[in-house]
Amino acid sequence: APLTFEVDRRADVRPDAEREAVLANPGFGTHFTDHMVTATWRKGEGWTEGKVTAYGPITLMPSAAVLHYAQEIFEGMKAYRHEDGSIWTFRPEANAARMARSARRMTLPELPEEDFLGSLRALLEVDHAWVPPYDGSEKSLYLRPFMYASEAFLGVRPAAEVTYSVIASPAGAYFTGGLKPIRLWLSKDVSRAGRHGTGAAKCGGNYASSLAGQLEGIEQGCDQAVFLDAETETNIEELGGMNLFFVTRDDKLVTPALTGSILEGVTRDSVLELAKDFGLTPEERAIPVAEWIDGVSSGEVREVFACGTAAVITPVGELVWAGGSAPSTAGEGGGEVTRAIRQRLLDLQYGRADDTRGWLTRL
Ligand code: COI
């Protein structure tokens, strides 16, 4: 039977004026809605205790396995308000499927798709007022489902008790400064993921391992780091929180192939699907970083952009490394193709374009 979520509405929900002030200028990842979802899994029992309660601190034993061995996964999605006031999300079955794949890799229990969707609906039922009003900007309610080993036990083995949760955070643009191209740092000494490792899983550990490269980049005045494959240190993988795309002179839309160490982005997959609508040929393959650097000077690489649920599509400018750099091809506000694909994606998500692929689900 599907998991049910018992609702315990908090008495002290924030007043309308306070919520509206947050929604007018949400930023990213700092404000949270009034409620959260939790559910518990126990070995031999399965999923139980679905609840919607007040957003607030959680109680864990100091010995909880997640705090020691990082057995944790998460998802990133958005709820969009359309002009008629209805609330929709984008390809949630893809997020549910990816969370199940991440769970298998991290020996966590799978949450059935219907319960995954049910948990989002349960939260939106009480917190729908936190989905920013439709105003033609890119505001949304960022949804963060996550799952972690909550069992209090220090032995190293798959946990026998696991907690699933969903929190939600009103979101504006991930990068401030509009469509200003981001400056990327080529991380040479820090790898994000290795062969047969966890790179394709959306687990916290991948993000933790990317931070040293990210910090190096920030110290060099960059916005994000680019990670190369750990085996040959030659091919571009991803940014740690975003996938990368290249628009070539001969109208190809090229992105690194999924090698097992790259996050299988839902936005990445959607962009590949949309390529044909723009007369572009999608191509997934190994992309040596030299091809980017040389391609910028030869004109072979016309545009570079990053994509993800949080960042949507963001133009990439300069690529910087210790002792050198490749200039931007993005101009002031990103290249023509970057802006067109970004606009199409937003039009689909906000219900302004025909959803011919059935990507939208009403919440
Ligand atoms: C996303 O939801 O796009 C992520 O990958 C997480 C992070 C960059 C906020």
pLDDT beyond 90 at 187: yes
- Tell how far the Cα of 299 is from the centroid of ligand 1, in angstroms: 31
- Tell how far the Cα of 281 is from the centroid of ligand 1, in angstroms: 26
Q: State the DSSP string of 332-343.
A: TT--HHHHHHHH
Residue 174's pLDDT is 83
Ligand 1 atom 5 nearest Cα = 241
pLDDT beyond 90 at 128: yes
Q: Which residues line ligand 1 (CB under 6 A)?
A: 76, 241, 308-311
| Residue 322 structure tokens | 């210790």
- Choose among 273, 348, 275, 272: nearest CA to 78: 348
Q: Which of 91, 242, 271, 307 to probe ligand 1 with, by most ligand atoms within 8 A of CB?
A: 242
pLDDT beyond 80 at 186: yes
- Tell how far the Cα of 76 is from the centroid of ligand 1, in angstroms: 6
- Choose among 269, 147, 144: nearest CA to 203: 147
Average pLDDT for 325-351: 95
Residue 175's pLDDT is 80
* ipTM entry: 0.93
8 A C-beta contact, residue 79 and residue 130: no
Average pLDDT for 259-275: 97
Ligand 1 atom 6 nearest Cα = 241
- Tell how far the Cα of 308 is from the centroid of ligand 1, in angstroms: 6
Alpha carbons 113 and 120: distance in angstroms, whole number: 11
Percent of the chain with pLDDT over 90: 96
Atom of ligand 1 nearest to the CA of 241: 8
Mean pLDDT check: name the lowest of 40-44, 178-182, 312-316.
178-182
Alpha carbons 145 and 121: distance in angstroms, whole number: 12
